[in-house]
Amino acid sequence: MATLQEQLILHEGFRPKPYRCSENKLTIGVGRNIEERGITKAEALVLLENDIKAIKSELEKYSWFREQDEIRQRVLVDMGFMGVPRLLGFKKMIAALEKKDFQTAAAEMLDSKWAKQVLTRADRLAEMMRTGKDYDTKGA
């Protein structure tokens, strides 16, 4: 199988970002036509796990992240999906986290353009930040 993989990489090339192939189809990786073929749920979950690890690794650099409990770390990783640089722009929230002032941290989350964009997600995450408790997935 490795020989066939090498052959296909030689012919298709590898591109880590989406591009338009010779047929103008949105393609990624080694000739994966994502417009027509898409990805499977299993493939999506592999990508998700890699993204979670990457975001968590970036956030582990900061004591204000490392010092949080598991629920609040989950909130911050979830927010990291907007991009860690954008998350780092939540300076008042981060300052509140450094003081363990979770009421203010939650309020700062909701007082943002991000909250207006993601609506219920922001409400749910702010509640988790405020209380340190998970949310009920059956009611979500």
Say what the pLDDT of residue 136 is.
Answer: 73
Say what the pLDDT of residue 139 is.
Answer: 53
Query: CA–CA distance from 107 to each of 26, 42, 76, 95, 122 (Å)?
Result: 40, 36, 14, 12, 10
What average pLDDT is seen over the chain?
A: 95
Give the pLDDT mean for 31-43.
96
What's the pLDDT tens digit per position in 43-58?
Answer: 999 999 999 999 999 9
Give the pLDDT mean for 77-104.
98
Residue 94 has pLDDT above 90, yes or no: yes
Q: Report how far residue 87's alpha carbon sits from residue 91's, in angstroms, rounded to the nearest whole number.
A: 9
Residue 29 has pLDDT above 80, yes or no: yes
- Report strand pairing: 32-33 vs 15-20: unpaired
Confidence tier at 93 by pLDDT (50, 70, 90) = very high
Q: What is the CA radius of gyration of the chain?
A: 20
Give the pLDDT mean for 81-98.
98
What's the pLDDT tens digit per position in 99-139?
Answer: 999 999 999 999 999 999 999 999 999 999 999 999 876 55
Say what the pLDDT of residue 86 is.
Answer: 98
Domain spans of the chain, in order of start: 12-59, 62-131
pTM over 0.85: yes
**Do 113 and 86 touch, CB atoms closer than 8 A?**
no
